[in-house]
Structure formats: C-alpha cells, structure tokens
Amino acid sequence: MTTFQQLESQEVVLRPMRDEQSDYERMGRWLSDERVLAFYGGRDHRMDAAGARKKYRPRTTGEESVNPCIIERFGEAVGYLQYYRVEDFAEYGLDDVDVDTWGVDLFVGEPRLWSTGLGSSALRLIVEHLFEECDAERIVIDPHVDNRRAIRAYEKCGFEKVKVLKDHEQHDGQWRDAWLMELRR
C-alpha cells in the first residue's frame, strides 16, 4: 500500500487512491473516455465505476502490491499513477535481478490538460520518492513506440530508451511494441 500521505510540487499533488466511490467513479469516467483508452488500456477495455472498483479495490486496500495514486491539480483530480516493485524481470527483458527495480504507469485523464506538464510533474514526484525513500536503484516505464508525447514527457524526467520490447502488450486487439525506458539512481 502507498506509504505517503501526499507528495507535492508547485504543479501537482500525488495522493494515494482511496477505497471510496468517488475515486472509483472518476477512474470509471477516465477509463471510458476513448481518447484516454487509445493510449492507456485500449478501447476494448472500457470500464465503468463498478469495473474500476473491481479492478482497483485490491490495490487501494493493499491486497495487491501495486500502489495506486491520484494526480491532483489545484484540488481537482486529473489523473492516475501507479507504481510497483518489478518482480517479473523477464517481462521487461531484464536479467540483472539484483538491481532493485520499480515500474510506473500513468495517465492524465483529462485530455484538455495533456501537454501542460502535469504528467512529467507527477512522474518526477514519484521518481524522487522511490529513489529517496524506497532505495530504488532503477525505475522503468514502457510506453508504446508510437506514443511520442509520453516518450517526450518521460525523457524530460531523465528516462532513457533502452530497447524495444517486441509484442509487449495487447492493445485494441493487436500486439504492440513498447520502449523499455529506464532511469537509474
């Protein structure tokens, strides 16, 4: 379960997602928006509030070891970020299992706010937390190769492309390649 009350910068606040209907509702709203699904999850994985509760409740209650967070800006919830210790190194084509490695996934759920710096601000907060408080040695992130906005946002935070992961994820019924990007402490 997420260990901080909240992380904040001038631009954004990152807080744990709560086991509350309001958080499941906003996730359901974002994850039924085709514009978001086109880049996160796929349009064939549309989710309403009940679906979001089913999927994310094991995370908000700590049953699953994925830490779910909500990104806020001026008190408004605007997106989602999750982080987790990587257990399956093969999934990322990594074999140096002695390197303490964490993964991050995120989206800004309000398309009107894309490319306004929120995603990279939220990512910077969790990067700092993982390196400073969790002794992470490496953080990985895996955008689709054609998600140029995401790749640019992650490069702004210092992530570097390592290799293409072929057929990494099924998305809208198709296997898609992704960049393995990493940031070392």
- What is the footprint of ligand COA within residues 166-185 (CB under 6 A)? none
By beta-carbon proximity to ligand COA, the closer residue of 128 and 135 is 128
Q: Tell me which residue has tokens 């492309």.
A: 161
* Maximum Cα interatomic distance, the chain, rounded to a whole number of Å: 42
Q: How far is the CB of 36 from ligand COA (least distance, A)?
A: 6
Identify the residue among 58, 116, 131, 134 touching ligand COA (CB under 6 A).
Answer: 116
CA–chain centroid gap for 132, Å, is 19
How many Å apart are CA 162 and CA 78, to the nearest integer?
A: 30
| Residue nearest ligand COA (C-beta atom) | 119
Q: Do 17 and 59 meet the contact criterion of CB atoms below 8 Å apart?
A: yes
Taking residues 71 to 110 in sequence order and writing x for each that binds ligand COA by CB under 6 A, - otherwise, the string is -----------------------------------xxx--
- Minimum CB–partner distance for residue 21 and ligand COA (Å): 23
Q: Are strands 138-141 and 101-108 parallel, antiparallel or unpaired?
A: parallel
Say how far apart CA 135 and CA 92 lie, in whole Å. Answer: 20
Phi, psi of 73 (to 5 degrees): -135, 125
Query: Least Å distance between CB 43 and ligand COA?
Result: 12
Q: Closest Cα partner for 107 from 53, 158, 70, 145?
A: 70
By rule CB under 6 A, what string of x and - marks binding of each residue 125-154 to ligand COA? ------------------x---xxxx-xx-
Confirm or reject binding of residue 39 to ligand COA (CB under 6 A).
yes
Where do contacts with ligand COA occur on this chain (CB under 6 A)?
Answer: 36, 39-40, 106-108, 114-120, 143, 147-150, 152-153, 156
